[in-house]
Structure 1
């Protein structure tokens, strides 16, 4: 079985929202969601980015926006600033769940590629502590405290405005060039992440924000879970100009599995087979090269297609890559090796 390392999941949010028994859901599963220990092992996934995220209030217009996304065009309105204290408290609860899994012995929170390798070799899940939207960081001292707790990846924004910048909203057809770039606080945050060797994630960041990160950071540019705008015109996908910027730094994009972002018609509905994924991969490989493409599932945070209902089905997706004409070496790069390379170049500069 080909190993898999994944650029994004929202498993911790699922645990907290459901008020679930952490040990039971992780160890045994409950028939819901996309991830638990058994399904990760069945799919060959030995680790990935575990996200901390603070919920945003539902739009006050009364529209069922998930249903609305089934028939584009759409543009989901999102509120702006949320309370930093409440966001920090919520993210601490998520981090506590991850810490509980580490204390139970089946997972390791990893701060280096060597620690990821040790976890993999020891049969433990290798987890990167990732913050999706920096509302959990009130000031530089808070960033350092999170870093001491194990934070090694941070997206300055989710798809809403915060004190650091502007997220790209959910829209189809849509363009990531929406709104201004990073605030002065956001620029300082990126510079401080660079000094700490914390990966700065471009996913959810608008176009001008991406340009700001490119000017400030000396690290490879990385988007943990995105797609190609040339294939599907979702505002969440990366334009060719953005892919060129990432390629110039020998950076990386993890392919988002979310059905509504990869379908060329933008409909938030499942699809059969893997053709939309392969179309995105073909384009990403053309723009980024064989060393710049990986996987960023968004498991437990997005709608999955029919033939990839959860992590256990990953071997079928890898087999589809082979049938599509990708050689064994390329499939392994996409599945896990490219993540190891970019993390080493980011964390060990």
Structure 2
């Protein structure tokens, strides 16, 4: 059976931004590279998802071979420097434009949604729903004026950081073993950002944020707490994963965690290799369900942003994951929640329109 899947995170817009002259080929024809394109999304049952605007860091010529470092745990990778809004905004606007172009080019098969009504209309009619997300708020200035501009374009979800620091807060480094208690909390500007996102109905994403920043958001926000693509620290002791205490705070807020498919956050040995069975994903899911409850767990693939298990391969392989979930004993009612309905309910509790 092909289940409808609502996905918490992907980086397709970065692929398009890196090859703008080939975006029609990448998006429309299923050219087979990467994890996502429109034909494979339809094949795999992908019905909705958060599409990330992400600003990559410059890579110095003397940068270490991060893949080689991560192949020999323990490791702790240095974080890149902060990127200012003036440098980040042109690429962020371009990536927002790619998402809007995807809607136009899809000829009715894909729509950028800005409200709960538009989301539910898409799900009812078989149109794939895309949500504009910002992974790291580098493109937002301290005055927050740009936040209102991106909101008008369709921004409905935002993570204050992608691991490297921003003017709003501090992310976790990529380290194994390690825990998310890695630095200071939100800045004053970050606290204003939380309040303004609450006012606008922009969902705040806690993935990549360190523990003190997480606690600041929990204290300040009046919305459910959400980590769109994070896993269980008790299973894999990566800084990017959530401790049981954090899961309890998210549950108390009636929030949500999307299971990250990135092997480096799944494997108990901290390695990146995709040569693993889907059992490790089920261990994380079991732990998340135990600590969050079955109404607060979903999927957050990180497609086109990370290495994923070989048995899945790409978005067309989602039925292999959902098939493993069924064989594991998840019944039909739970499957509907985990694959799609929990995300819809979360946005019902979060969005203002």
TM-score between the two structures when normalised by the length of structure 1: 0.97
Distance (whole Å) between structure 1 residues aligned to residue 286 and residue 275 of structure 2: 18
Tell me the CA shift for residue 59 of structure 1.
5.6
Unaligned stretches of 5+ in structure 2? none
Distance (whole Å) between structure 1 residues aligned to residue 81 and residue 214 of structure 2: 19
- Counterpart of 1:273 in 2: which secondary structure? coil
Distance (whole Å) between structure 1 residues aligned to residue 56 and residue 15 of structure 2: 11
Distance (whole Å) between structure 1 residues aligned to residue 341 and residue 327 of structure 2: 20
**2:306 maps to what in 1?**
302
**2:144 maps to what in 1?**
140
Change (3 A) 1:222 1:50: same
**2:57 maps to what in 1?**
56
Change (3 A) 1:140 1:62: closer
Instruction: Answer yes or no: is the 8 Å Cα contact 1:244–1:288 preserved in 2.
Output: yes
RMSD: 1.3
Match of 1:325 among 302, 326, 329: 329
Tell me the CA shift for residue 317 of structure 1.
0.5
**1:27 maps to what in 2?**
28
Distance (whole Å) between structure 2 residues aligned to residue 170 and residue 51 of structure 1: 19
Matches within 5 A, 1:233-248: 233-248=237-252
**2:204 maps to what in 1?**
200
- Counterpart of 2:42 in 1: which secondary structure? helix
Tell me the CA shift for residue 61 of structure 1.
4.6
Matches within 5 A, 1:1-349: 1-58=2-59, 61-104=62-105, 105=107, 106-138=109-141, 139-348=143-352
Instruction: Answer yes or no: is the 8 Å Cα contact 2:200–2:352 preserved in 1.
Output: no
Deviates more, 1:109-118 or 1:222-231: 109-118
Distance (whole Å) between structure 2 residues aligned to residue 223 and residue 99 of structure 1: 25
Instruction: Answer yes or no: is the 8 Å Cα contact 1:182–1:209 preserved in 2.
Output: yes
Change (3 A) 1:70 1:59: farther
Distance (whole Å) between structure 2 residues aligned to residue 330 and residue 123 of structure 1: 22
User: 4+ residue stretches of structure 1 with deviation over 6 A?
Assistant: none
Distance (whole Å) between structure 1 residues aligned to residue 70 and residue 189 of structure 2: 33
